[in-house]
Amino acid sequence: MTTFAEPLPLGSIRLRGEYVQNALDKEVRYLLSLDAERLLAGFYENAGIRTPYVRYGGWESMLIGGHTLGHYLSAVSQASRNPGVPEEARERFLARVRRICDVLSECGARHSGLIWGAPLAEGAGIEAQFDNVERGRTNIATQAWVPWYTLHKLLAGLIDAYDATGYASALNAASALGDWTARRALAWDADTRNAVLSVEYSGMNDALYELYARTGKPEHARAAQIFDEEPLFDSILSQGKDVLKDRHANTTIPKILGALKRYLILDGRELDGERVDAARYLRIAQVFFRMVLERHTYVPNAPTATVRRAMSTICSNLRACSFLSRGTSSIPTTMTTPSQIPSSPRRIRKRA
């Protein structure tokens, strides 16, 4: 029997040293400098709740608005558990987590679970961007930017908030958002699904599998499967040398994390009365990970060939660190067989 090691809980490890503490102190100051009410302003507006606060500018005033709050909710949730953060600041972070989750829960209740903070696009109401993507209307200035990407950040933020703090409102809002997503996604025909998955949707499959692990609602797992991009997965399993050529890393990696999560959460369990065999999705993650590490690297835009070569050399050493930082630390770089891939960071699995 193989027993996979389980990572220590959040807050159980501290990195010490002047450099690390300085970085953490700056991060704490920055997080506290942001006004949660301004990050919530668009959600108030779309829910018809009066507020004196004005949304931030930049992307928050464009059709991708609202996704920053998802990132922020993850950050303050983790900061509330960080032993390196002063107690007074941890309490402030926890208060913000609860406030944000309560507001999102209230806003979602007014729209059948949908939580949305972006300015409204051309179309009918709060769901216009989602409608437009399904119809292939994707002008990012007026019709739709990446609504499912934005929704992923919000759903992941709520799950992170619940995991870090145990605050019930976070899971309630996440579950209602998952219900809304399932109702929509499970109604797609093949053409609509393909249209939706052709626009960046980040790790919607990943987040929905994580949500299912906490709610046990079958519709959350079925919705997650809708976001599993099978043509991409087939191409990865083909192991062709140019499978990842010209693919956007920030778009592709979350999809593979979702595939891995399908294995970790569903494999061997019953769903809709049938026992799930998700071994294919473990293999997808395995092949992709080795494909990235052995055949690819990340080279930022550079003005000259000399600089590009230099950056390639630097990034070849950094690529594994960058890749692992996105959550794929659940797959060791030395793996050669599926049995060597460890389980989800949030649980332990034992296999005979």
pLDDT at 339: 36
- Mean pLDDT for the stretch of residues 50-58: 95
pLDDT at 3: 58
Burial of 102 (0-12, 13-18, 19+ CB in 10 A): middle
Q: How far is CA 316 from CA 34, 134, 297, in A?
A: 35, 38, 6
**Residue 140 pLDDT exceeds 90:** yes
Q: In angstroms, rounded to a whole number, what is the distance separating the alpha carbons of residues 184 and 134?
A: 11
In a domain, 20, yes or no: yes
Using the Cα atoms of residue 106, residue 111, residue 116 and residue 119 in order, give the sign of their dihedral.
negative
Chain segment 199-236, per-residue pLDDT in tens: 999 999 999 999 999 999 999 999 999 999 999 999 99
Write the CB contacts of 85 (distance below 8 Å, at least 6 apart in sequence): 24, 28, 79, 93
- Name the residue with higher pLDDT: 24 or 333: 24
Q: In angstroms, rounded to a whole number, what is the distance separating the alpha carbons of residues 188 and 181?
A: 11
**Residue 191 pLDDT exceeds 50:** yes
- Mean pLDDT for the stretch of residues 32-53: 97
In a domain, 40, yes or no: yes
**Residue 100 pLDDT exceeds 80:** yes
**Residue 20 pLDDT exceeds 70:** yes
In a domain, 186, yes or no: yes
Reading the block at residue 150, the tokens are 């934005």
Highest mean pLDDT among 129-143, 280-294, 305-319: 129-143
Q: In angstroms, rounded to a whole number, what is the distance separating the alpha carbons of residues 26 and 35?
A: 16
How many residues would you count in the chain?
A: 352
Reading the block at residue 15, the tokens are 């990195």
Confidence of residue 256 (pLDDT cuts 50, 70, 90): very high
Confidence of residue 318 (pLDDT cuts 50, 70, 90): very low
Confidence of residue 105 (pLDDT cuts 50, 70, 90): very high
**Residue 48 pLDDT exceeds 70:** yes
DSSP letter for each residue of 332-343: -TT--SGGGS--
Burial of 34 (0-12, 13-18, 19+ CB in 10 A): middle
* 24-31 LR contacts (CB < 8 Å, sep 24+): 24/82, 24/84, 24/85, 27/79, 28/79, 28/85, 28/86, 28/89, 31/72, 31/75, 31/76, 31/79, 31/93
Confirm if 319 and 289 have CB atoms less than 8 A apart: no
Residues 266, 164 within the same domain: no
In a domain, 250, yes or no: yes
In a domain, 222, yes or no: no
Confirm if 201 and 146 have CB atoms less than 8 A apart: yes
From the list 107, 73, 269, 108, the residue with the least C-alpha distance to 179 is 108
What amino acid occupies position 275?
A: R
**Boundaries of domain holding 41:** 1-198
Residues 133, 26 within the same domain: yes
pLDDT at 305: 44
Residues 6, 151 within the same domain: yes
pLDDT at 244: 87
- Structurally, the chain folds into a number of domains equal to 2
Confirm if 287 and 233 have CB atoms less than 8 A apart: no
Final residue before a domain boundary, out of 198, 217, 242: 198
Q: What percent of the chain has pLDDT over 70?
A: 83
pLDDT at 316: 38
**Residue 184 pLDDT exceeds 80:** yes
**Residue 324 pLDDT exceeds 80:** no
Q: In angstroms, rounded to a whole number, what is the distance separating the alpha carbons of residues 205 and 214?
A: 14
Final residue before a domain boundary, out of 179, 198, 217: 198
* Integer Rg of the chain from CA: 21
Residues 153, 252 within the same domain: no
Chain segment 141-156, per-residue pLDDT in tens: 999 999 999 999 999 9
